[in-house]
Structure formats: structure tokens, C-alpha cells
Amino acid sequence: MSYRQAAFVLASGILFGFGLALSTMVQPEVVLSFLAWKDMGLLLVLGGAVVVTFAAYHLAPRVMRKPIAGEAFGRHPSEMAVRTLAGAAIFGVGWGLCGVCPGPAIAGLGVGNYPMLVALAGLILGAYAQGRWASHQFNQPQMNTDEHR
Amino acid sequence: MSSLFPLGWEHYLAGGLLLGVGMSLLFVSTGLIGGMSTVFSTVWSFFSSAPYFQQERFVSTRNWRLIYAAGIILGALLWLILLGQPFVTEVPYWRLAAGGFIAGFGARLSNGCTAGHGICGMASLQPASILAVFTFLATAMATAHLVKAFL
């Protein structure tokens, strides 16, 4: 990755982190209050983010041959699979318990919300557990659901 | 309006639009898709030889994902310096730890979280992501209501 690309990635992260702080998503109390139907603010956060991102994802590849500092516009297809939805269901239980999702766990550190370190440690360990569990399936190709569906 | 948004609505919308601007800049400048939870798998690619973590899709993206995460901390710090006040949550540590672990496991199994499925996946109208968002919103709301009732 070139310095120019790294600078763009850093700038994008800064905007994203600023947005997470401004929208108070770095406060688990606010997220939990949405999930308990006391404050619908998170819908505006998600809606605002999706509308702008939708415009970029759909317009940029039409009006630009390639990204400013990149080779090609990426795509990240989501797999319509049991693991996608089972994982989402599990994710929701954790999110509803603590009010912290991955972005705010990272951004929370920037606003001095030090208990977020505990949530961040939990997220990283959870990702480790999932990876070890998935590695087990890697070693037994006959159980690899991606190849034998 | 005030009953739907007891704390006001402007900062939610402005913050959300800014999230979109960040995600859009990442795409327009580099072509990258800015999901968030993947960084937690890619950091393990530095330390663990487990085959799952050594996949090309993690090893080849781990550097920019760390830079992205560093930017997010800096952006939140910038907000603190320019506009805000420090905030320290009062959610008990055990809930942060347990909830974080469960959310980390689930997001990686699902290959996406509120950013990856919620913003990127929905913005590219992917059926699996849209279904994932409704799924995690449902289980998160159910959990939050139960926590409120019993804890």
C-alpha cells in the first residue's frame, strides 16, 4: 500500500470516527436506549450513513474509471448462508447486552471512554474464538461447507 | 418528534451522514469496502498460525485495516478536542466483556457487523446483508429488553 493510499485510508477513518463520536454511538447508553425503543436516533445514524454510501457505491464506478489512488473498485458480496444469519443473531445478543459494536468500541477510546477497552478485549477474544473454531473445519475438508454445499 | 428523539435528532443525522462520507471517501479514493469487524480477525493473523487467520483475505488487508482503526480513534479524539466532552460509560464491566465476546464471535461468523452489513451491505443492496441487519436488530432489541427487565 502506497503512502498516498494510506493517507486516504487514515482520512476516511478520521471522518468515520468523528461521525461515531458526533452521533453519540460511542455511548453504549444511547445505543441501549435505541434497542429498548426509547430513542429512535440510531435509525437516523444508520439511514444517513446508508444513503450517502449508497450514492458513492453506485455513482463512483459509473463516473470514474478507477479509484483516485487505487486499481479497482472493490466488491464484498455477502454470502446468503446459515452462518451469515446465525452469526448476525449471535452478534445481536452481544450487542444488546453491552450496547457496543466494533466501530464504537474503537472510537470510544478516542473520547476517553476507557471502559470500552473491556468491550474491545471481548470483541477481539470473540473473533479469536470464532477463528479457532473455523480453523478446526479447515483441517477437515469433508466438513468444509463452502465446498460441499 | 420529541418523543421519538428525546435527546434531539440533528446530531444523529449529521453523525450518520459523516459516517457515510467516511465510507464513501474510502471507496472513491481506494476502492476499499470499510467493514469494521474484520480488523479483529486480521490482527490475529500477526500472532496466530491457525489456518483461518492466515487466509489471503486477512493477511492482505491487515495493514490498511489497522490504519483505518487508528484513523477512527483519531477522528473521535478530534471531535473531543473540537466539540465534545469526555464520556465514560456506566455499563458494568461484565456486560461489556461478555457482550463484546459474544458480539465479536457473532460478527466474525456472520462476516459483518453494523458497519459491514449495516452500512456497506445495505448500501450495495445485498439481500444477505439486509437479512442480517433485520436479524441482529431483532435479537439485539430482544436482549436489551430482557436486560432492562431483569438486570
Across the interface, of A32, A52, A110, the residue whose CB is closest to B76 is A110
Rounded to 5°, the CA angle B32-B37-B42 comes to 75
Size of interface A-B (CB pairs under 8 A): 545
Q: Please judge whether A57 and B27 are an interchain contact, meaning their C-beta atoms are less than 8 angstroms apart.
A: yes
d(CA B48, CA B40): 12
* Grid coordinates given for B38: 474484520
Tens of pLDDT, residue by residue over A98-109, are: 999 999 999 999
Among A142, A19, A114, residue whose Cα is nearest residue B24: A19
On chain B, the residues whose CB falls within 8 A of the CB of A100 are: 91, 96, 99-100, 103
For residue B1, what pLDDT band results from cuts at 50, 70 and 90? low
Checking if the pLDDT of A143 tops 70, the result is: no
Q: Would you kindly state where each structural domain of chain A is located, as residue ranges?
A: 3-42+77-142
Rounded to 5°, the CA angle A28-B85-B68 comes to 65
Q: Please judge whether A92 and B140 are an interchain contact, meaning their C-beta atoms are less than 8 angstroms apart.
A: yes
Nearest chain B alpha carbon to A20: B15
Report the amino acid identity of residue B31.
Answer: G
On chain B, the residues whose CB falls within 8 A of the CB of A36 are: 141, 144-145, 148
Please compute the mean of the pLDDT values over residues A120-140 and round it to a whole number: 90
Is the Cβ–Cβ distance between B42 and B64 less than 8 Å? no
Tens of pLDDT, residue by residue over B70-128, are: 999 999 999 999 998 899 999 999 999 999 999 999 999 999 999 999 999 999 999 99
Across the interface, of B29, B70, B110, the residue whose CB is closest to A8 is B29
The burial class, CB within 10 Å (0-12 / 13-18 / 19+), for B66 is middle
Would you state the pLDDT for residue A1? Answer: 86
Nearest chain A alpha carbon to B26: A12
Would you state the pLDDT for residue A144? Answer: 46
Residue of A39, A128, A132 to mutate for B, most B C-beta atoms under 10 A:
A128
Output the average pLDDT for chain A. 93
Please compute the mean of the pLDDT values over residues A32-39 and round it to a whole number: 97
Would you state the pLDDT for residue B9? Answer: 95
Please compute the mean of the pLDDT values over residues A68-91 and round it to a whole number: 95
On chain A, the residues whose CB falls within 8 A of the CB of B147 are: 32, 96-97
Please report, rounded to a whole number, the percentage of residues in chain B having pLDDT higher than 90. Answer: 95
Query: What global pTM score does this model have?
Result: 0.94
Q: Please judge whether B91 and A86 are an interchain contact, meaning their C-beta atoms are less than 8 angstroms apart.
A: no
Across the interface, of B64, B74, B97, the residue whose CB is closest to A17 is B74
- Chain B: nearest CA to A144, how far in angstroms? 12
Output the average pLDDT for chain B. 96
Across the interface, of B53, B67, B104, the residue whose CB is closest to A10 is B67
Return the half-sphere exposure (C-beta side, CA atoms, 13 A cut-off) of residue A127.
26
Please report, rounded to a whole number, the percentage of residues in chain A having pLDDT higher than 70. Answer: 93
Q: Please judge whether B67 and A9 are an interchain contact, meaning their C-beta atoms are less than 8 angstroms apart.
A: yes
Checking if the pLDDT of B144 tops 60, the result is: yes
